[in-house]
C-alpha cells in the first residue's frame, strides 16, 4: 500500500509513523509518502487521520506501477532528459571494458563526433571465470572520470558486487547494476540512498515481476531515478547469446512508469545482428539503447564478438534516426 | 552436400543417380540438383563426372543456407511477391478461428477496406484440451474458399495434423504448418510434394537449427516456396504468453535465404502489446506480419485476449507504414 | 465436469445425452459417464434427473485427476500389471532404432536372459533432419512382431505422425506417442478408439498441465489405458541433452491417477549418467523405466551416445533391484 | 593450466613465479601449485625448469576437474566427513529462516533427537521484494551460534551479499553462497581466503560450467573446502517452483571432484513432493541433502509451502536410510 500523508504531517512525524508501521518513508517534492507491503489492503487505524490519499496493489510492484503513477517518470542522464514526455531515445555507447586510456579516449571521441553524450565502459567485469580478464577496477574508473573531464561526457559503469559500490558511486554519473547483480541488496540499498540515476539490468533468469521489484528496492529507499534495462534472457536457444525479451518490454511499458533502455549487444552476442535488433528496439518507442562499440573489436579483452567497430556504429546511428522518427522519437 | 549436375544430365538420369547415392533430387529451373546429408564432404566417385558445382556444409542446413544461395528467395502469396529484392512487408490478418460466415466476411471486408490481400483463419485448432473449441474443420475451409471467391483474397490456414493435410492443400492458397506441428513429417512431406507456399511456424520449444531443418524437409522434397515464421518461445517468463525471439530473427536473416514472417499476436498473448511489437518486427526489415484481428475479440472462441479489434488494427496499420518506410520496406 | 449417470440409463441413451450436451461419453464397467469442459460448474438442467454423481474441476485435468479417482489406474503391459497397487517398476528396454533382424534379436535375447518382458525399438524415427536415418518403417514393425512371436515379448514402438498410426496400432502391443508428437490429435484420437495401452511422452517444451491434457484426449475418447512418460525438458543447460523433470514427476504423482514411466536415456543423452538417473527415478516409486540398450552403441544409427551396452545394462539392472525394494517396489 | 612445482621450490618463490606469470598460487600439503587460465596450453618458458607435473584443460574447469584429480575431494562438516570415500549422505536440516530463539531451539532439538549434526537457518534472506520479511540478520546469526554452543551442532547459513560476509564467516561453520549470489565475487573471494567449508548453490539460471567456475573462484584463492549444491533451475514449468536438475548432478559427478549436496525443498516448492524427491537424490549416491523443516510451517515467515513439519521430517528420515543403503551410502 502507498499512502500520501496529509500536507500538515512533517518529515519527522512521517518518519516516525513509518517506523511505527514498519513502512518505508519517501518524500516526493513536499509529499510525505509511506509504503508498506502489498499485503496491507486497508489503511492502518493509526494512520487514517493522517492519510490524504492511498493506493492498494495486488503485488509488490507499487511505486513503479502505472496504477500509482500513470505518467512515465523522467530521469536526467547528464543534460539529456529521458522518460516523461521527452520522447528521447538516448544512445549510450562505448566498449565492453575500459582497457586503456588510448582506447577509451578513442571511444569518447567517437561519441563527441556523433553528437552523443554518454559513455559506457566496464571496470569491474562480472566474469564467470577467475582466470579471465577481470577489468581495470579503480584505474578504469579514474579513466572514465578523466574522459568526463576532458570531453564533458556523462559516464556510466557497472557495479559487480557490493565491495566496490562506494567507488562506483563516487566516480560515475549513472550507476549500472549488472544483470548478474540484479538481486544484490548490498548494491541496491546503497543506490537507494543517493540521487544519481541507477540503471538496473534484468537478470537473464529473472521474471519481469522480480525485475521491477529490484527497482522497488531503490525507489522505496528514496531514490526516484531508476531506469530499467532489458538485455536478454537465457533460453534453450544457443545460436544467439541470449534472447532479447521485447514482449517483456511491452509488458513493462504497460505496467510500469519507469524509463526503459535496451541492450541489444549483450542479447545478440554477435555484431552482425546488433543493427537489426537496435532498430527493432527503437521502433517500440523506448528511452535509450546501450550499444557496445570498440575501436578494434578483434582485440577486445571481453565480448569481442558482439562489439561494433566505429564504422558499423556510425552507419547504425544514421539508420536509427529515421526509425526513431517514424514512431515520434528522437535519437539523442 | 549439394551437387549441381552438369546440364547434359537428364531429369531421369538425375533421379537415378539420386537413388544410387541415397540423395534427394530436386530441380531448379533447368538445373538438376542432388542433396545428400551434410556428413558427405567429398563428391562421391560415381558422381564426379556429372558434377558441375558443389557445396559442403557443416550441418544439415543446406538448401536454406546463405552459403548455398546468398540471395533471399522470392515467394508469391497470391499476387504479392515477398522476399527476393521486393522489400515488401505483407500484413496477413484475420481471426484466430473461423467461427461463422458472418464473422469471416467482416474480417474479409476489413482487409479489402485497407487494401490488404491475404486472410488468415484457423479451421483445425491445435488446442491442448479435448474439451475446448476445436475449430470448424472442413466447414471452415469452405468458408475461407468462399471468401476467396467473393473478395479475391488469398487465404492461409493451419494444418493441425496429417489426417486433414489433403483438405488444407485443396482449399487454401498458403499452407501453414502450426508451431505444435513443426516436427510433423506427415505434414511436411505432403507439403514438399506441392508447389503452393508453405509457412512453417517455429515450435515454441524448437532451436533455430531444428526450425530451419523443418524447412529442409519441404525444400528437399521439391517445394521451393517456404516461408519461416517466428511466433515466440516458451520461456520461464509468464507475464506474457511467449517470448518473441528477435535475436533468432537476426540469426535467420544472416544464415538462411528464406523469407521471414513474424507473428506478434501469439507471442505476446495480449492485445495491448501487439502494436509495439509489430513495429519492432517491421523495423527489422521482414517479409511479413501475421496479426490476429476479430470483429469482437471479447466473444472470440479462442485466443480472445490477444486479438485486436478492427479499430485497433486500422490504427496499427497506419502506424506501421512509416516504420516500414524508415527501413526501406513497404507495408502491403 | 464429470457426470456418472444413473444405472438405469442405457448406453444408447447416454450417447444421446452426450450429443445433446456436447459432452464426451465413456463407459467404465457398467457406468455411463459424460465429460464436459471444466467450464461447466453445474449439472445441466436436462441431466439433473439422470445424474448419479458428479465432479467439478478447476481446469481440464478431469478423468486423469486424483480429485475424480484417487487410486492410481492399473494398466497391463502384456502380462505385467503396473499402476494400481502392484508396486511394479517395469524395465522396458531395447535399442533406439530397429536396425536389422540380427540386432533386434540380440536385444530380445538380452531381455529374455534377464527375465524382462517388454521390448522397445523405433521404426519411424522423428528425426529433425530429412538427411538423417529415418528408421526402417514397416519393415521394422514386422521385425518387432517377429520378435514377439519368437520370444513371447511385448513390443512397444513410437508413432511419429498420423500417416502410419494404423500400422503402429496393428503391429505393436503398446503405442508410444513420441515427445514431438504429443500434441498430435491425429495420433491421440486414433489411440482413443482402441484399448491397447498408450504411452504418451511429454513434449520437451510442454507444461505438466498440457501433458496431462494430452492424456485427456485419449481418456475422453474411451481408452482408459494411458501411461505418462517424462523424458526431459529442453532448458538452457546444454551439458546434458535434456533436463529430466523429477519435480514434475512428484507433481504428476500428487495430482493424477495415471501410471508413470520415466526415460532417463533421452533426458541424459550420455550413457555415463543413465545408471545414476535410473536409480533416482526408481527411488521415487514409479511404474517403469524406458532404457535404451544396444549390442554395440558405437555403431548405432541414432542416439549412439546415450545407449548402454549389454554389460552396462545388466550391471544397472542388478543395481536397480535393491533401490526399488528400498521403496517397496519390484523391478520386473 | 595447472602446474605442480618441483619440491625444491619454496612457498615464497612459488608466489613470486605466480605473480610473474599472472597465475594463481595455491598450496596443497607440501605441493606448490600454479594455476593459469585454460588458454595456456604449454608450460611458459620461465617455468619449465621448476615444473614437476602439469595438466592442460579445454576450459576453465581446472582445479575442480576429474582430469586434474580423479578422486572426489573430502570435506569436513563439523565431525562428519563427506566426499572422499566416506559414502556419507549428510542430512542438513532446519527452517528456511531463523525466526526466534524458541523456533530455532525446537529445530535444534529435532536434529539432536534424530542423531543429526548440522543445522541450517537463514538470517539474511535474499527476498525479491523490499516489502517481505528480510531475515533477522546479525541477531539470527547469534541465535545460530547459541544453538551451536548449547547442542554441539554445526551451523550453516547463507550470505546474501558482500556487505555481511564477514559476519557470516565469523558466526557460522559452513558458509552458504546462495543461488542468487552465486556470481558474487565479493562473497566468493572472501570465502577463498578462509578454510571453512563453502557450500555454493547453483544459480537457477546458471549453466553447469558457470556453476563449477564459481567454485574455481574459491579453489584458486586457496580454499579447498568447496561443496556444490544443486537446487533447481528456473524453467517454463510453473506447476513446481523450480526444476531440480538431476541430469546436471550426473554431469557434475562425472566431471568434477567436488562433493555434491542437493536441496529438494527449494526445487519443489511444495512439501508434498519433498519426500519422493529426497529419495531420488539419495539414490544417486550424493554427499548430502538440505531439507527445510519448521515446527509449524503454516506460520513460517518465508517459504511456508515447502517446509516439512517435524513428523513429516522424521518419517522421511526413516524412509531415506534404506534408500541410501541400497546404493552403499549412509544417512548421517
Whether residue D204 sits in one domain with residue D315 = yes
Residue D21 CB coordination number (10 Å): 18
Cβ–Cβ contact D294 with A under 8 A: no
Question: How far is residue D84's CA from residue D98's CA, in Å, rounded to a whole number?
Answer: 32
pLDDT in tens, C130-160: 999 999 999 999 999 999 999 999 999 999 9
- Collect all residues of chain A within an 8 Å Cβ-Cβ radius of residue D214: 128
Average pLDDT for residues C255-278, to the nearest whole number? Answer: 98
Strand, coil or helix: what is C155? strand
Whether residue B115 sits in one domain with residue B29 = no
For residues B241 and B292, is the Cβ–Cβ distance under 8 A?
Answer: no
Of B35, B162, B205, the CB nearest to C163: B162
Going by pLDDT thresholds of 50, 70 and 90, the confidence category of residue D169 is very high
Number of cross-chain residue pairs from B and C with Cβ atoms under 8 Å apart: 100
Interchain pair C161, B185: CB under 8 A? yes
How many angstroms away from the CA of B85 is the closest CA of chain A?
17
D66 domain-assigned: no
D322 domain-assigned: yes
Using the predicted structure, report yes or no on whether residue A304 has a pLDDT greater than 90. Answer: no
Interchain pair D239, C272: CB under 8 A? no
Going by pLDDT thresholds of 50, 70 and 90, the confidence category of residue D217 is very high
Helix A310-326, helix A101-113: angle, nearest 10: 40
End-to-end CA gap in chain C: 37
- For residue B48, the enclosing domain spans 2-55
Whether residue B248 sits in one domain with residue B124 = yes
Cβ–Cβ contact A128 with C under 8 A: no
- Collect all residues of chain D within an 8 Å Cβ-Cβ radius of residue C245: 235, 237, 243
* Backbone φ and ψ of B154, nearest 5°: -90, 140
Whether residue B22 sits in one domain with residue B143 = no
For residues D1 and D38, is the Cβ–Cβ distance under 8 A?
Answer: yes
Using the predicted structure, report yes or no on whether residue A70 has a pLDDT greater than 90. Answer: yes
Q: Interface partners of D (3+ CB pairs, < 8 Å)?
A: A, B, C
- Collect all residues of chain B within an 8 Å Cβ-Cβ radius of residue C193: none
Going by pLDDT thresholds of 50, 70 and 90, the confidence category of residue A303 is confident
Closest CA to C65 of C208, C179, C194: C208
Residue with cell 517395469: C90
- Collect all residues of chain C within an 8 Å Cβ-Cβ radius of residue B60: 129-132
Strand, coil or helix: what is D208? helix
Cβ–Cβ contact C205 with B under 8 A: yes
How many angstroms away from the CA of D237 is the closest CA of chain B?
7
Using the predicted structure, report yes or no on whether residue D126 has a pLDDT greater than 90. Answer: yes
- Residue percentage of chain D with pLDDT more than 70: 100
pLDDT in tens, B77-98: 999 999 999 999 999 999 999 9
Whether residue A173 sits in one domain with residue A37 = no
Residue B146: exposure state from Cβ atoms within 10 A (0-12, 13-18, ≥19):
middle
For residues A71 and A65, is the Cβ–Cβ distance under 8 A?
Answer: no
How many angstroms away from the CA of C129 is the closest CA of chain A?
17
At a CB cut-off of 8 Å and minimum separation 6, what does C187 contact? B161, C159, C161, C162, C165, C177, C181
- Collect all residues of chain D within an 8 Å Cβ-Cβ radius of residue C322: 326-327
Whether residue C276 sits in one domain with residue C147 = yes
Q: What's residue B127's pLDDT?
A: 93
Residue with cell 519527522: A12
Domains of chain C: total: 2
Whether residue A194 sits in one domain with residue A45 = no
- Collect all residues of chain D within an 8 Å Cβ-Cβ radius of residue A216: 129-131
Cβ–Cβ contact C159 with D under 8 A: no
Minimum mean pLDDT range among C115-119, C299-303, C327-331? C299-303
B94 domain-assigned: yes
C66 domain-assigned: no
Residue B215 CB coordination number (10 Å): 24
Question: How far is residue D40's CA from residue D43's CA, in Å, rounded to a whole number?
Answer: 8
At a CB cut-off of 8 Å and minimum separation 6, what does A212 contact? A61, A64, A228, A252, A255, A256, A258
At a CB cut-off of 8 Å and minimum separation 6, what does C130 contact? B24, B60, B213, B216, B217, B220, B221
pLDDT in tens, B282-305: 999 999 999 999 999 999 998 889
Helix C101-113, helix C310-326: angle, nearest 10: 40
The mean predicted confidence, pLDDT, of chain B is: 97
Reading the block at residue D76, the C-alpha cell is 569436513
B190 domain-assigned: yes
Q: What's residue B51's pLDDT?
A: 98
Question: How far is residue B291's CA from residue C332's CA, in Å, rounded to a whole number?
Answer: 53
Of C244, C247, C279, the CB nearest to D327: C279
Of D161, D210, D220, the CB nearest to A186: D161
- Residue percentage of chain C with pLDDT more than 90: 99
Number of cross-chain residue pairs from A and C with Cβ atoms under 8 Å apart: 6
Using the predicted structure, report yes or no on whether residue C303 has a pLDDT greater than 90. Answer: no
Closest CA to D108 of D46, D69, D154, D49: D154
Q: What's residue B304's pLDDT?
A: 87
Number of cross-chain residue pairs from C and D with Cβ atoms under 8 Å apart: 143
Closest CA to C230 of C284, C301, C306, C188: C284
For residues D202 and D182, is the Cβ–Cβ distance under 8 A?
Answer: yes
List, as one string, the DSSP characters of D137-201: THHHHHHHHHHHHHH--EEEEEE-SGGGHHHHHHH-SEEEE-GGGTT-HHHHHHHHTS-S-EEEE
Using the predicted structure, report yes or no on whether residue C199 has a pLDDT greater than 90. Answer: yes
Cβ–Cβ contact D236 with B under 8 A: yes
Strand, coil or helix: what is C137? coil
Cβ–Cβ contact B128 with C under 8 A: yes
- Collect all residues of chain B within an 8 Å Cβ-Cβ radius of residue A209: 239
Sign of the torsion angle spanned by Cα atoms C4, C7, C8, C12: positive
C69 domain-assigned: no
C77 forms beta bridges with C80
Residue of A35, A129, A206 to mutate, interface with D, max D Cβ within 10 Å: A129
- Collect all residues of chain C within an 8 Å Cβ-Cβ radius of residue B63: none
Interchain pair D60, A132: CB under 8 A? yes
- Collect all residues of chain A within an 8 Å Cβ-Cβ radius of residue C235: 236
DSSP B281: H
Interchain pair D322, C319: CB under 8 A? no
Closest CA to C286 of C261, C266, C322, C265: C261
Number of cross-chain residue pairs from A and B with Cβ atoms under 8 Å apart: 142
- Is the interface score ipTM higher than 0.90? yes
CA count, 13 A, side-chain hemisphere, B242 = 25
Cβ–Cβ contact C45 with B under 8 A: no
Interchain pair A162, D161: CB under 8 A? yes
Interchain pair A235, C238: CB under 8 A? no
Whether residue C278 sits in one domain with residue C144 = yes
- Which CATH number do you get for residue D267? 3.20.20.70
pLDDT in tens, A104-131: 999 999 999 999 999 999 999 999 999 9
Cβ–Cβ contact C238 with A under 8 A: yes
Whether residue B134 sits in one domain with residue B24 = no
Whether residue A194 sits in one domain with residue A150 = yes
Interchain pair A205, D130: CB under 8 A? no
Residue with cell 558457470: D210
pLDDT in tens, B9-49: 999 999 999 999 999 999 999 999 999 999 999 999 999 99
Residue C258: exposure state from Cβ atoms within 10 A (0-12, 13-18, ≥19):
buried
C265 domain-assigned: yes
For residues C150 and B173, is the Cβ–Cβ distance under 8 A?
Answer: no
Kindly list the distances between the CA atom of residue B25 and the CA atoms of A53, B198, B220, B223, C134, in Å, as whole numbers in the listed order: 74, 19, 7, 11, 17
- Collect all residues of chain C within an 8 Å Cβ-Cβ radius of residue D267: 247
Average pLDDT for residues D135-164, to the nearest whole number? Answer: 97
Interchain pair D236, C207: CB under 8 A? yes
At a CB cut-off of 8 Å and minimum separation 6, what does D11 contact? D27, D32
CB burial of C281-320 (b: ≥16 within 10 Å; e: otherwise) equals: bbbbbbbbbbbbbbbebeebbbbeebbbebebbeebbebb
Strand, coil or helix: what is D223? coil
pLDDT in tens, B91-118: 999 999 999 999 999 999 999 999 999 9
Q: Interface partners of B (3+ CB pairs, < 8 Å)?
A: A, C, D
Whether residue D81 sits in one domain with residue D37 = no
Residue with cell 545482428: A273
- Collect all residues of chain B within an 8 Å Cβ-Cβ radius of residue A202: none
The mean predicted confidence, pLDDT, of chain C is: 97
Question: How far is residue B64's CA from residue B163's CA, in Å, rounded to a whole number?
Answer: 28
Interchain pair B180, C180: CB under 8 A? no
Using the predicted structure, report yes or no on whether residue D204 has a pLDDT greater than 90. Answer: yes
For residues C60 and C249, is the Cβ–Cβ distance under 8 A?
Answer: no
pLDDT in tens, A138-197: 999 999 999 999 999 999 999 999 999 999 999 999 999 999 999 999 999 999 999 999
* Backbone φ and ψ of B10, nearest 5°: -75, 165
The mean predicted confidence, pLDDT, of chain A is: 97
Residue with cell 500484413: B91
Question: How far is residue B77's CA from residue B82's CA, in Å, rounded to a whole number?
Answer: 7
Give ∠ CA A62-A66-A72 in degrees, rounded to 5: 115
Whether residue C228 sits in one domain with residue C282 = yes
pLDDT in tens, D54-93: 999 999 999 999 999 999 999 999 999 999 999 999 999 9
- Collect all residues of chain A within an 8 Å Cβ-Cβ radius of residue D217: 130
How many angstroms away from the CA of C223 is the closest CA of chain B?
14
Predicted model pTM: 0.97
Using the predicted structure, report yes or no on whether residue D273 has a pLDDT greater than 90. Answer: yes
pLDDT in tens, C174-183: 999 999 999 9
Question: How far is residue A272's CA from residue A295's CA, in Å, rounded to a whole number?
Answer: 16
Strand, coil or helix: what is A327? coil
Strand, coil or helix: what is B11? helix
Interchain pair C327, D279: CB under 8 A? yes
D63 domain-assigned: no
Give ∠ CA C125-C126-C131 in degrees, rounded to 5: 85
Question: How far is residue A6's CA from residue A256's CA, in Å, rounded to a whole number?
Answer: 26
Interchain pair B209, A239: CB under 8 A? yes
Question: How far is residue C133's CA from residue B22's CA, in Å, rounded to a whole number?
Answer: 11
Reading the block at residue B233, the C-alpha cell is 518461445
Cβ–Cβ contact B234 with D under 8 A: yes
Amino acid at each position: 500500500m502507498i499512502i500520501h500523508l496529509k500536507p500538515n504531517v512533517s518529515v519527522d512525524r512521517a518518519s516516525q509513523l513509518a517506523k511505527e508501521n514498519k513502512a518505508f518513508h519517501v518524500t516526493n517534492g513536499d509529499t510525505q509518502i509511506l509504503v508498506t507491503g502489498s499485503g496491507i489492503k486497508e489503511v492502518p487505524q493509526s494512520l487514517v487521520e493522517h492519510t490524504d490519499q492511498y493506493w492498494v496493489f495486488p503485488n509488490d510492484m507499487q511505486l513503479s506501477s502505472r496504477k500509482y503513477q500513470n505518467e512515465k517518470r523522467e530521469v536526467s542522464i547528464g543534460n539529456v532528459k529521458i522518460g516523461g514526455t521527452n520522447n528521447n531515445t538516448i544512445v549510450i555507447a562505448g566498449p565492453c571494458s575500459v582497457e586503456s586510456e588510448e582506447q577509451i579516449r578513442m571511444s569518447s571521441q567517437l561519441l563527441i563526433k556523433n553528437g552523443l553524450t554518454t559513455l559506457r565502459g566496464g571496470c569491474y567485469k562480472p566474469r564467470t571465470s577467475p582466470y579471465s580478464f577481470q577489468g581495470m577496477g579503480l584505474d578504469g574508473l579514474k579513466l572514465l572520470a578523466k574522459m568526463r573531464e576532458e570531453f564533458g561526457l556523462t559516464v556510466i559503469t557497472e557495479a559487480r558486487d557490493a565491495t566496490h559500490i562506494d567507488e562506483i558511486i563516487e566516480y560515475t554519473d549513472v550507476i549500472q547494476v549488472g544483470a548478474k547483480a540484479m538481486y544484490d541488496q548490498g548494491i541496491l540499498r546503497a543506490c537507494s540512498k543517493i540521487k544519481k540515476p541507477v540503471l538496473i539490468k534484468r537478470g537473464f533468469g529473472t521474471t519481469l515481476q522480480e525485475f521491477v521489484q529490484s527497482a522497488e528496492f531503490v525507489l522505496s529507499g528514496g531514490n526516484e531515478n531508476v531506469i530499467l534495462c532489458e538485455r536478454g534472457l537465457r533460453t534453450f536457444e544457443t545460436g544467439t547469446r541470449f534472447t532479447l525479451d521485447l514482449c517483456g518490454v511491452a509488458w513493462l511499458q504497460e505496467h510500469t512508469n519507469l524509463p526503459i533502455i535496451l541492450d541489444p549487444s549483450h542479447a545478440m552476442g554477435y555484431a552482425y545482428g546488433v543493427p537489426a535488433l537496435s532498430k527493432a528496439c527503437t521502433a517500440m518507442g523506448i528511452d535509450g539503447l546501450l550499444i557496445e562499440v570498440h575501436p578494434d573489436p578483434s582485440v577486445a579483452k571481453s565480448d569481442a564478438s558482439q562489439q561494433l567497430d566505429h564504422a558499423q556504429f556510425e552507419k547504425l546511428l544514421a539508420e536509427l534516426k529515421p526509425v526513431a522518427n517514424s514512431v515520434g522519437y528522437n535519437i539523442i
